[in-house]
Structure 1
Amino acid sequence: MEWQKLAAELFPEGHDIVERDFFLRGNATISGRVATVIGTTGHTPIGVEIALAQAHAILETMREFPGRPLIILVDTQGQRLRHRDEMLGINRYMAHLGKCIDRARRNGHPVIGLVYDQALSGGFITSGLMADACYALPEAEIRVMGLPAMARITKVPEEKLRELAKSNPVFAPGAENYLNMGGVEAIWHDDLAACLSRALQQTDASDRRSERGLERGGRKMARPVIQGVLASHNVLPS
């Protein structure tokens, strides 16, 4: 979906989002409440410039508008794989972005992520997955790594991975599989503005992804392992 059409459906009460070099930023009204909107479009990779621009927008919102909701619109092919970005320390820029989102959450800013097109690799991990809750449209393409690349790295034959992907969502791309694993809270249909309004009313800063994955059968071991580690350190799970 084109970001302009998405914005019109998400924010019928109005918005002033603009796109510059594939970076989206602006304000929008949701059920009478103003939110800061950031994101990407055009399947753009996240390089140092966009990572820094998103972090700047979040820090500015925290400084100027305490408690204002943050909406992250995700469409990215992952982090930019260029020698220049690597030499500049793209990993630190991505970490900085993730930390800014986490700080906003801890400071009382509701943070909602929405994958409306493509979400891959580090560009997704340090944006939508850092939100209080991440949602997706039905046609969204979500994956950390393609099966051919996974086969090359793990040395497991691609045919075997494709067979595993039929029954195990960990190996398979797609919004439904990420829903089953708990990475995506829900897939939005029909009235997107109503979906967003409900999501903002239900925001919870607690990380429920492992719990959701266990409930939905997509990640059966993450929650028990977390609980075991916490119990061994006498820490009560959230």
Structure 2
Amino acid sequence: MHEAPSLGAEWLLALAGEAPVQPGYPASVRVVDGQLAGRAARFIAVVPDPDSRYPRARNGEVGLAEGWALARAVREAMAADDSADTRRVIVAVIDVPSQAYGRTEEAYGIHQALAAAAEAYARARQAGHPVIGLIVGRAMSGGFLAHGYQANRLLALSGESVQVHAMGKQAAARITQRSVEGVEALARTITPMAYDIDSYASLGLLHRRLDVAAEDTSQVALVREALAAAVADIGGRTDLADRFDDQGRPASMAVRRRLREQWAG
């Protein structure tokens, strides 16, 4: 019996409308070409595949097949627009619980697969493709780093289903030798340890948090408007300076300023 569709799958369908899923990718990576803000756009999501040949990558994790497929999806979009005056928008629809943890993954180089995906997103951004990461569910660990974190702009929906962290609660509990409840208590006092999207937004890395519940795909028009506004905000910039200019990160800004001063001196 197959699991219910993931938030990533639901939002990909809502955003892409009637556009067909591109063939040739694993069942866990869905690629749809459509339109956004009057220009071509490629929407990409990682979704659960209960029939995956890799048991550790059946619940939406980014594993070997997913990492290489993400890299191919982004690079094919780049190649198609290589001589175009306007580069298509790339939207990473993000709902990933983590990277795939397993001996098979480690033996066959999951680090290379995920690095290939991250590099593809970064190269697309540097080549002039507006790249947007839309967090509609979980954005965890290496899965998030490979799928969406290299975007020019990060947007997120709202609600308890939307979480961002370097490690899942169960894994964090094992590493810190706490209970899950203890991890949650710690998160309430140390913002970088928190999982909720409001805490993540306070760190200054999020371009915009939308007042749209993750489960409410009826608000797709509002989300598409926000994506279009993010494309306009990107303009011709290809870097990630937007994340460092945020006033919510005064300590980081002070450190970077001191480093520049010492380097110049």
**Could you say which TM-score interval applies, normalised by the shorter chain?**
0.7 to 0.9
TM-superposition CA deviations, 1:148-176 (whole Å, max 9, x none): 53354356887775454224320100211
Root-mean-square deviation over aligned CA pairs: 2.5
| Match status 1:209 vs 2:214 | no
Letter matched to residue 251 of structure 2: M
Task: Give CA deviations for 1:52-76 in whole Å, capped at 9, x if unaligned.
Answer: 0110111111111242111111111
Unaligned runs of 5+ residues in structure 2 are 1-5, 49-58, 213-218
Aligned to 2:56: none
Letter of the 2:239 counterpart: S
Matched, 1:41 2:47: yes
Match of 1:145 in 2: 167
CA distance, structure 1, for counterparts of residue 257 and residue 146 of structure 2: 25
Among 27, 30, 36, which residue is 1:24 paired with?
A: 30
Measure the CA separation in 2 of the matches of 1:138 and 1:15.
26
Question: How many pairs were matched up?
Answer: 230
- 2:231 corresponds in structure 1 to 200
* 1:227 partner letter: R
Call closer, same or farther: CA 1:148–1:63 in 2, change over 3 Å: closer
SS for the counterpart of 2:138 is: strand
| Partner Cα separation in structure 2 for residue 89 and residue 28 of structure 1 | 33
Query: For the residues of structure 2 that align with 1:202 and 1:11, how far apart are their CA atoms?
Result: 22
Aligned with residue 137 of structure 2, among 110, 114, 117: 117
Residue number in structure 2 paired with 1:57: 73
1:83 Cα deviation after fit: 0.8
Aligned letter for 2:106? E
| Residues 1-238 of structure 1: pairs in structure 2 closer than 5 A | 2-3=7-8, 5-11=10-16, 14-17=18-21, 20-42=26-48, 43-66=59-82, 67-139=87-159, 140-147=162-169, 149-154=171-176, 162-188=184-210, 189=212, 190=219, 191-203=222-234, 204-207=237-240, 208-212=242-246, 215-216=247-248, 219-234=249-264
Contact kept in structure 1, 2:155 and 2:206, CA below 8 Å: yes
Percent pairwise identity: 24
Deviations 1:65-101 (A, max 9, x none): 2421111111111110111110111112111211111
Deviation at 1:51? 0.5
Give the TM-score of the pair, scaled to structure 1.
0.85
Alpha-carbon distance between aligned partners in 1 of 2:238 and 2:204, rounded to the nearest angstrom: 15
Change (3 A) 1:32 1:171: same
1:229 CA drift (Å):
1.9
TM norm structure 2: 0.77
Aligned CA distance change for structure 1 residues 156 and 230 (closer, same or farther; 3 Å): farther
Check conservation: 2:60, 2:95, Cα contact below 8 A. Answer: yes
